[in-house]
């Protein structure tokens, strides 16, 4: 809750409540034994508005310094604060005592007195010996920093202090009764303690209220109101109890003084009121203390009343605010329900309407169309009735919302009047605006729904007329054929022109309304197309009939010779026109026709020519592998050399010669585009099937070359990359969890993100390093998994979106990153590829073992030597003169089982 008071106001209230009679650790009960010894007392007498503190002549009891401090600390707290600030008058009676006690008491006063001293009156010792000592310079030994007046007798004391302000011990008129004084002090201190405890309760109550947070629901606010009201009533009851106690004590003081005054013939005023009795000084001091306590009680009561008035205003405002918020939520929910009901009103089946209005193929459907349109009109009328019912509910809720907005405005005005309420506008004003928006939106939706239904009804009527017109037009076209008789032709022309005039009278342009909903707009567009078709047919029929009735004139016709055809050359590749593209595709298609026809006749698999000759594309892998090395050689030996610069200038090339190193790689990326264009312009189904297969193979080749390109960027591998075999698969940004096996229990040790490269013999785990410029992409080698060490490769136990590679002591759980492909399919492809690699490695090892065992047998060795001789002879046959067959380069085997489909190829320089 925002603070009810500002800091300044709360500080003032706090000081007002803290202004209580000061309480010390001493009270009358703790000093009663010293008071009963009459070592010092306060009679209530004053001298020049300063309270008189009397030290009576009591030589039998010695006053120690500790008792002195304890007694003085208590007695100096009895007068009021103003009296204490004026200072004290001390009367020391030592008439029957010695000068040594005088020196002692003076030293005590010099050493400790908590307040100022106006004057000290000393009744000097009167014995013969003490008077003699006083003449022997005893008086000169007494030093005092306060004003000290030594009196030889009481008469000399009366010259300074009024007799009415002195006790009877000093010959005064005050009948000081110590026992009664202690009893009244006990009662006054109880009253003061009760007021102090009440102040603490009130301060705690104000602090609690000031720090409480107002909740956001009405029930909690009601609970807070009831709780605070109970606390306030409890404090008021305590105030009344303490006030009754104070009045009772004041009456007791006046009653006792009245009885004492009656026995001593004290003066009473004519009203005989206890509050107007002339009190003795000691009773008057007690009465002033009671009156001060009662005045403070009145101040506390006034402070509580003011605080409760402000706090109650805040509570009521907060309660009204929460009621406002609750009503707002209720109205908001009702508005949402109305929105949903409007949205849930089922739309008219406009597609059925379009079918009915455009179904002109059979004239017998006209009656069915009319019946369907009638049903649609009835359905629209039913929807309009529902909309009207919702509109009535909306009007009721709009009136409630308007009333709630006015109540919110009233709360805001009240907040402006009550400056102490620092909250409310930030919560009310947005809700008032939201209420206005909800009302506006609901009205717009209802009006829009009603407008669309009425517009649809209007369109149905209009489309009914158009439907009849189209049916009549079709009938007229079937009836009025091309006649040989001029009279019949003229009559048909008149009827068709009259029919076309009816179309202009219907004013069908009204259907082209900007606010028409999209389904209906599409249907109207179809209707317009059909109307245009009927109109065009009728106009053409009229033109044909006019030609029949028109006289025929045969003018002379001049024939000019045809110009010779010019044979021009076209740049088919660079042309962008559709005709030239079609010619370009036909050229490439013709080149593949012979091979395709041959394969169709001879092969049962019906593979395309590119699929049949896909091994010819292996050469591009060598381009990819040699690109980085070729660039390094160029930068080391050729870059900037005058010879190559001169060649570049002579050829007129703007780009340097090293840019042509990328040409083979760029060329391979053009084949799939050419295949797509060929598919676009190929209409034969069997040929399209072959081209689709070729496109699939070409995309797999591109994907494999992309993996090869990335594999050339692996750095940090300690051995030669050629020994790893061909690359099969590559995975980017894979999350790998490595677990260590202890018996049958796996303990996870590390989880990281790596790029995976699957070769025939190993799996490399690398970390991608990219500086962001696209030219410094590298893969830092981190870990290697040998294919021969893999025991099991299967799906993860808990998640089929992951697969697991199990080794002897470790297990790798791999989660691939999806690039638009399903994770299940990707995991299956990886598992199959790894299993194929494992199978091939196992077979290779078995073959090696078998080879070593056979090499130990001499007969087998001689037989193998003869076989090799025949094999070498066969390899040198004229049919195997292909240069690629003897190339030392290791190329990939582009089979469908080892290549993944990837429509995206990324080559990084």
Q: Decide if 324 contacts 404 (C-beta within 8 A).
A: yes
Residue 308: pLDDT band with limits 50, 70, 90: confident
pLDDT digits (tens, 9 = 90+) for 190-217: 888 888 888 888 888 888 887 777 777 7
Note whether 367 and 359 are within 8 A (CB): no
- CA-angle at 748, arms to 747 and 749, nearest 5°: 110
CA–CA separation, 811 and 804 (whole Å): 7
CB 365, CB 474: distance < 8 Å = no
Per-residue pLDDT for 873 more than 70? no
Residues 202, 17 contacting (CB under 8 angstroms): yes
- 125 falls in which pLDDT band (50, 70, 90)? confident
SS3 589: helix
Backbone region of residue 820 per phi and psi (left: phi > 0; alpha: psi in -120 to 50; beta: other values): left
Q: Between residues 461 and 890, which one has the greater pLDDT?
A: 461
pLDDT tens readout for residues 232-242: 888 888 888 88
Higher pLDDT, 15 or 569: 15
Task: Please name the residues in contact with 391: beta carbons below 8 A apart, sequence gap of 6 or more.
Answer: 446, 450
Residue 602 has pLDDT above 50, yes or no: no
CATH of domain 31-176: 3.40.525.10
Closest CA to 833 of 726, 722, 698, 706: 726
Token pair 């990939």 is found at: 892
Residue 432 parent element (H or E): helix 425-479
pLDDT of residue 899: 36
Which of these, 31, 46, 62, 259, lies nearest to 167 by C-alpha position? 46
Give the Å distances, CA to CA, from 168 to 154, 264, 265, 373.
12, 14, 17, 125
Of 541, 426, 555, give the one whose Cα is nearest residue 474: 541
Read off the pLDDT band of 600 (50, 70, 90).
very low
Cα–Cα distances (Å) from 33 to 30, 62, 70, 179, in that order, read: 8, 14, 11, 11
- DSSP H or E stretch at residue 845: helix 823-855
pTM for this entry: 0.43
Q: Reduced to 3 states, what is the DSSP secondary structure of residue 783?
A: strand
The token duo for 119 is: 């004057």
Cβ atoms of 311 and 209 within 8 Å: the answer is yes
As a whole number of angstroms, the distance between CA 415 and CA 419 comes to 7
Instruction: Report residue 176: phi and psi, to 5°.
Output: -80, 115
| Cα gap 706→780, rounded to integer Å | 18
| Alpha-carbon torsion angle 267, 273, 276, 280, nearest 10 | 60
Structural tokens at position 840: 């091939």
Q: What are the tokens at 797?
A: 């136990």
d(CA 520, CA 17): 79
- Ranked by mean pLDDT, the top range of 7-11, 202-206, 587-591 is 202-206
Task: Look at the chain and count its residues.
Answer: 909
pLDDT at 353: 55
| Rg of the chain taking only CA atoms, in angstroms | 59
pLDDT of res. 348:
66
Number of alpha helices (DSSP H) and beta strands (DSSP E) in the chain: 25, 13
* Interatomic CA distance for residues 783 and 736, integer angstroms: 12
537-563 average pLDDT score = 65
pLDDT at residue 875, rounded to an integer: 34
Highest mean pLDDT among 386-395, 620-629, 835-844 belongs to 835-844
pLDDT in tens, 830-850: 999 999 999 998 998 888 888
Distance of CA 442 to the CA centre of its chain: 29
Higher pLDDT, 151 or 556: 151
**Over 90: is that where the pLDDT of 781 sits?**
yes
Interstrand relation of 803-806 and 762-769 (parallel, antiparallel or unpaired): unpaired
In percent, the amount of the chain with pLDDT more than 70 equals 71
User: What are the structure tokens assigned to 494, written together?
Assistant: 């008149």
- Least Cα distance to 410 among 332, 402, 214, 224 occurs for 402
Q: Which of 73-82, 372-381, 509-518, 704-713 bottoms out in mean pLDDT, i.e. has the lowest? A: 509-518
Assess whether pLDDT exceeds 80 at residue 424: no
Q: CA neighbours within 13 Å on the CB side: how many for 466?
A: 31
Copy the structure tokens of residue 134.
């006083």
Report the 3 state secondary structure along 46-97. Answer: EECCEEEEEECCCCCCCCCHHHHHHHHHHHCCCCCHHHHHHCEEEEEECCCC
Q: Where are the alpha helices (DSSP H) in 159-217?
A: 178-211
Could you give the C-alpha distances from 608 to 374, 418, 613, 671, 674, in angstroms and in order?
59, 90, 9, 14, 15
* Angle formed at CA 18 by CA 15 and CA 21, multiple of 5 degrees: 135
pLDDT, mean of residues 732-758:
79
Token pair in block for residue 557 = 């016709």
Cα of 70 vs its chain's centroid, Å: 67
């Amino acid at each position: 809750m925002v603070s009810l008071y500002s800091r300044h106001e709360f500080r003032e209230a706090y000081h007002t409540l803290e202004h209580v009679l000061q309480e010390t650790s001493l009270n009358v009960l703790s000093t009663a034994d010293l008071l009963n010894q009459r070592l010092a007392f306060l009679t209530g007498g004053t001298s020049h508005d300063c309270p008189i503190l009397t030290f009576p002549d009591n030589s039998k009891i010695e006053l120690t310094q500790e008792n002195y401090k304890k007694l003085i600390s208590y007695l100096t707290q009895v007068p009021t604060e103003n009296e204490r600030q004026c200072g004290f008058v001390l009367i020391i009676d030592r008439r029957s005592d010695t000068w040594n006690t005088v020196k002692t008491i003076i030293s005590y006063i010099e050493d400790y007195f908590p307040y100022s001293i106006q004057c000290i009156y000393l009744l000097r010792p009167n014995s013969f010996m003490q008077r003699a000592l006083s003449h022997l310079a005893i008086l000169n030994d007494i030093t005092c920093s306060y004003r000290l007046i030594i009196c030889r007798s009481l008469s000399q004391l009366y010259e300074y202090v009024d007799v009415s302000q002195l006790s009877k011990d000093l010959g005064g008129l005050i009948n000081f009764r110590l026992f009664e004084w202690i009893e009244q002090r006990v009662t006054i201190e109880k009253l003061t303690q009760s007021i102090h405890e009440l102040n603490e309760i009130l301060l705690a109550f104000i602090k609690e209220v000031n720090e409480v947070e107002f909740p956001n629901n009405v029930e909690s606010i009601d609970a807070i109101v009831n709780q605070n009201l109970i606390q306030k009533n409890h404090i008021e009851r305590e105030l009344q109890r303490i006030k009754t106690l104070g009045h009772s004590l004041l009456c007791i003081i006046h009653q006792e003084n009245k009885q004492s005054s009656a026995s001593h013939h004290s003066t009473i005023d004519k009203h005989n009121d206890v509050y107007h009795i002339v009190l003795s000084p000691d009773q008057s001091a007690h009465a002033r203390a009671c009156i001060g306590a009662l005045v403070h009680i009145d101040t506390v009561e006034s402070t509580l009343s003011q605080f409760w008035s402000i706090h109650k205003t805040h509570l009521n405002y907060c309660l009204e605010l929460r009621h406002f918020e609750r009503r707002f939520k209720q109205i908001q929910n009702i508005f949402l329900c109305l929105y949903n009901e409007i949205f849930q009103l089922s739309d008219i089946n406009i597609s059925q309407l379009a079918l009915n209005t455009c179904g002109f193929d059979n004239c017998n459907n006209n009656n069915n169309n009319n019946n369907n349109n009638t049903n649609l009109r009835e359905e629209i009328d039913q929807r309009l009735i529902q909309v009207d019912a919702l509109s009535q509910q909306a009007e009721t809720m709009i009136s409630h919302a308007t009333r709630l907005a006015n109540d919110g405005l009233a709360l805001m005005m009240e907040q402006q009047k009550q400056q102490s309420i620092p909250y409310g506008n930030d919560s009310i004003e947005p809700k008032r605006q939201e209420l206005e928006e909800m009302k506006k939106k609901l009205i717009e939706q209802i009006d829009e729904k009603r407008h669309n239904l009425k517009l649809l009804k209007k369109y149905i009527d209009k489309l009914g007329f158009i439907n009849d017109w189209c049916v009549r037009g079709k009938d007229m076209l079937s009836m009025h054929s091309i006649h040989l008789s001029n009279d019949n032709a003229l009559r048909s022309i008149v009827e068709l022109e009259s029919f076309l005039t009816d179309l202009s009278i219907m004013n069908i342009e009204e259907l082209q309304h900007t606010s028409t909903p999209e389904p209906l707009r599409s249907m109207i567009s179809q209707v317009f197309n059909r109307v245009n078709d009927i109109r065009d047919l009728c106009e053409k029929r009229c033109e044909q009939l006019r030609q029949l009735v028109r006289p025929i004139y045969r003018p002379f016709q001049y024939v000019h010779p045809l110009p010779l055809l010019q044979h021009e050359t076209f740049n088919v590749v660079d042309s962008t026109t559709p005709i030239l593209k079609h010619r370009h595709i036909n050229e490439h298609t013709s080149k593949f026709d012979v091979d395709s026809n041959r394969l169709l006749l001879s092969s049962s698999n019906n593979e395309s020519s590119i699929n049949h000759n896909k091994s010819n594309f292996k050469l591009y892998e060598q381009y990819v592998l040699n690109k980085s090395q070729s660039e390094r050689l160029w930068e080391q030996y050729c870059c900037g050399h005058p010879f190559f610069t001169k060649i570049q200038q002579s050829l007129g090339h703007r780009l340097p010669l090293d840019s042509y190193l990328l040409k083979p790689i760029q060329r391979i990326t053009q084949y799939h585009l050419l295949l797509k264009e060929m598919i676009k312009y190929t209409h034969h189904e069997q040929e399209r099937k072959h081209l689709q297969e070729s496109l699939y193979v070409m995309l797999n080749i591109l994907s494999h070359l992309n993996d090869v390109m990335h594999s050339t960027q692996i750095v940090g591998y300690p051995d030669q990359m050629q020994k790893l075999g061909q690359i099969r698969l590559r995975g980017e940004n894979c999350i790998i969890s490595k677990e260590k096996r202890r018996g049958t229990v796996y303990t996870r040790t590390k989880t990281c993100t790596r790029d995976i490269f699957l070769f025939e013999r190993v799996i490399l785990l690398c970390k991608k390093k990219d500086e962001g410029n696209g030219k410094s992409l590298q893969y830092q080698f981190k870990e290697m998994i040998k294919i021969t060490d893999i025991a099991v490769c299967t799906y993860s136990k808990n998640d089929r979106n992951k697969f697991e590679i199990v080794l002897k002591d470790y297990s790798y759980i791999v989660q691939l990153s999806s690039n638009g492909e399903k994770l299940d399919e990707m995991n299956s492809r990886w598992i199959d590829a790894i299993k194929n690699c494992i199978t091939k490695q196992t077979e290779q090892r078995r073959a090696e073992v078998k080879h070593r065992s056979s090499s130990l047998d001499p007969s087998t060795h001689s037989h193998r030597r003869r076989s090799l001789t025949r094999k070498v002879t066969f390899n040198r046959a004229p049919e195997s003169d292909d240069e690629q067959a003897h190339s030392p380069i290791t190329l990939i085997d582009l089979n469908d089982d080892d290549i993944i489909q990837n429509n995206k190829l990324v080559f990084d320089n």
